Amino acid sequence: MLDRMASESLALPLNNALIGLVAALAVGLIVGLERGWHGRELPEGSRVAGLRTFALIGLFGGVSAQLREPFGAAVLAAGLVCLGLLGVVSYAAWMRSSGRLSATSSIAALLTCVLGALAASGAPVLAVGTAVVVAVLLDLKSTLHRWLRRIEQRELSAALQMGVISLVVLPLLPDQGYGPDQAINPYRLWWAVVIVSGLSLGGHVAMRAVGAGQGMFWTGLLGGLASSTAATLTLARQAHADPRLTAPAAAGALAACGVMALRMTLIALTLQPAFGRTLALPLVVAGLTLLGLAGWGWRQFGHSQGLQRPGGAAKEDADNAAREAQPFDLSVALGFAAFLGVMAVLGRAAHGWLGAPGVHALALLSGLADVDAILITVSRMQADGTLGTGSAVLAVGLAVASNQVTKAVIARSAGSAALARQVLLGYAVALLTGTLAAGLGLLI
């Protein structure tokens, strides 16, 4: 009995060691498969490392890790140093013979050794999964380089600034109220800024990715992620330059407003889930109505004119709109944060002076410029019990309606009367369906 228990206890470490070594070998084979495939056409002896070499490197890391217990961590450290020196010598020789500079394979070899050690140290699944990610990154070389060539300086700056406001600034802000009625909560205000700015940056990336050559409908659809007002202005100018584009411009403007409604739903659900669920029905119904009208209008006109195909009349306009659209900017975020703070104070002050009608008047005025700020303000007031659910829903509806008036004026002034009529008709239908949905939601 004791002998059997002893043999079982001995077999368990042996099994774990075997699993670790197999996983370490798998790590090397995964990375080596990618490296070997890309160098498969090279003559024998001209490759720095291929499938077999990487498999051996992974296994080397696994064996080194398992030797730590009897001999200490110096074994693994010495193995990494030796591998690094070997990589330097091999890289120097390869560089002299090929005349090219690339340390990718050397870094991949060191990482393969470390992952092999990780696999043999009790984390085989994590090591193999990381090896797959490494192989994917290595295989995406041409794709990643192509993306880098397309990125402009302002877009790189925007992405870095987005990282600053979300990963550096946000965690440092206090989550408590300040100012009149403790209306200004720095953390929550900045969290709203992060969400809105992230959607704007995402909309810009989407426009750059598929907006060019896809026509005015896609310009409006993707532009609504960043700013439906800016998208409407762009489309109105295009329609003014060429009246034949009035119908697709109207479709794009309706699509932008429909995406705006869905974006508002996402913001509300993220910041205040309970109130967001109340707003979801009217906003989603109105948004889908606008998207449906936009799609119908686009299909009616686009097929006959060929504007939906790359190379159509809207290709150059859509390409210019995608390139000229401004990505997220830190100054914009700061301005929005200040506006959001002012709206938070004014919202409570208006409610204190005039009650719910004061908030509704503020919603009408602020909606002429922006819907996100009043949406966030009203959501906060509803969550802390300052404003009832019905009054909060009405305030959001008034802000949306006044914002649509602004975009209709833009369509008329920057575009044409025909464009304004088509846009207003779509807005009216969406406002009606959204109002009916809101009433139904409140009854339920």
pLDDT (tens digit, 9 = 90+) per residue, 196-254?
677 667 656 765 665 443 556 777 777 777 677 777 877 787 778 778 778 888 888 89
Question: What residue numbers bound the domain in which 125 lies?
Answer: 2-146
> Which of 100, 126, 146 is a domain's end point?
146
pLDDT at residue 101, as a whole number: 52
Phi, psi (deg, nearest 5) at residue 178: -135, 165
Q: Of 122, 146, 170, which residue is a domain's last?
A: 146
Residues 14 and 140 in one domain: yes
167 with 136, same domain?
no
In a shared domain, residues 113 and 187: no
Count of structural domains within the chain: 2
108, 197: one domain: no
**Residues 224, 371 within the same domain:** yes
Domain final position from 88, 116, 146: 146
Same-domain pairing of 127 and 193: no
Do residues 215 and 286 share a domain?
yes
Range with the poorest average pLDDT among 272-281, 364-373, 416-425: 364-373
Contact 212, 322 (CB under 8 A): yes
**What pLDDT, on a 0 to 100 scale, did the predictor assign at position 351?**
60
Rounded to whole angstroms, what are the CA distances from 397 to 323, 350, 367, 378? 33, 18, 9, 11
Please name which of 323, 326, 313, 328 lies closest in space to residue 217, comparing C-alpha atoms.
313
Q: Are 162 and 201 spatial neighbours (Cβ–Cβ below 8 Å)?
A: yes
Q: Could you tell me if 91 and 199 lie in one domain?
A: no
Q: How confident is the model at residue 307 (pLDDT cuts 50, 70, 90)?
A: very low
Q: Are residues 202 and 305 in the same domain?
A: yes
In our burial notation (b when 16+ CB lie closer than 10 A, e otherwise), range 393-422 reads bbbbbbbbbbbbebbbebbbebbbebbbeb
Instruction: Examine the domain organization and report whether 126 and 211 are in the same domain.
Output: no
The whole-model pTM stands at 0.58
Distance from C-alpha of 59 to C-alpha of 227, rounded to nearest angstrom: 53
